[in-house]
Amino acid sequence: MEHKPKALTVLNWLTGAVFVVALYIVLIWAPQEAIMGDVQRVFYFHVSAGWVGALAFLVTAIVGGIYLARGEQRWDRVAQASVEIGVVFAFINIVTGSIWARPIWNTWWTWDPRLVTATIMELIYIAYMMLRRGIEDPDRRARFGAVYSIVGFISVPLTFLSIRIFRTIHPIVVGSSDPAALGAFDMTVDMRVAFFFSLFTFTLLYITLLWHRLRLQVKMEKIEERKLRALSS
């Protein structure tokens, strides 16, 4: 039986402790926004979840390129694990955005460029996972996934830049913002601390989940190998 690495155990405890601190900072320590009130606190985890989604898809594209160059199956494992995590956090980003938007925009959804591009990005990567399942040959599946992840990554910067390219009511909190954007606000020093600590926390969470998912994938592959041996004997 494969034992869990001590480093992963330490990382689990560290991530849990940091996440608890992040909850305290976001929900209690960070000051209340003057106009939006406590609902603004959703912002910290909303952006952090979006960041993890983008980071996960970036890692998927990078390891996809490495796989095409080297043909090593371990890189495809990383791509598969990373994209699954990215899809979950991108979904969390969309849901928390709706929660934030409801009292500010008076609607759960609007056809804003950021919301539309974020949803398209999410659907692109959901399709990626579904299409992979339809390919039985491991090498062909990995090559397809690598090319798809590189091309599909175009949706990530497009989502980020959408509120800077198109006319939108979505605020640009970091950097210059359109005065007409609903929900725009200037962060105080304490808000910035909460914001960047949330980004750090979610990045650490992504690394932890990725490690666990890779270990699970290796175990699943070993089980499949044993099944094939049993059937062939």
pLDDT at 177: 52
pLDDT tens for 138-160 read: 899 999 999 999 999 999 999 98
Question: For the chain, what are the domain ranges?
Answer: 51-171+188-228
pLDDT tens for 22-63 read: 999 999 999 988 788 888 899 999 999 999 999 999 999 999
pLDDT at 2: 63
**Cα–Cα distance, 50 to 92 (Å, whole number):** 8
pLDDT at 181: 54
**Amino acid identity at 206:** Y
Q: Rg of the chain's alpha carbons, rounded to an integer?
A: 20
pLDDT tens for 162-181 read: 888 877 777 776 655 555 55
CA-closest candidate to residue 87, choices 43, 132, 65, 54: 54
pTM value surpassing 0.75: yes
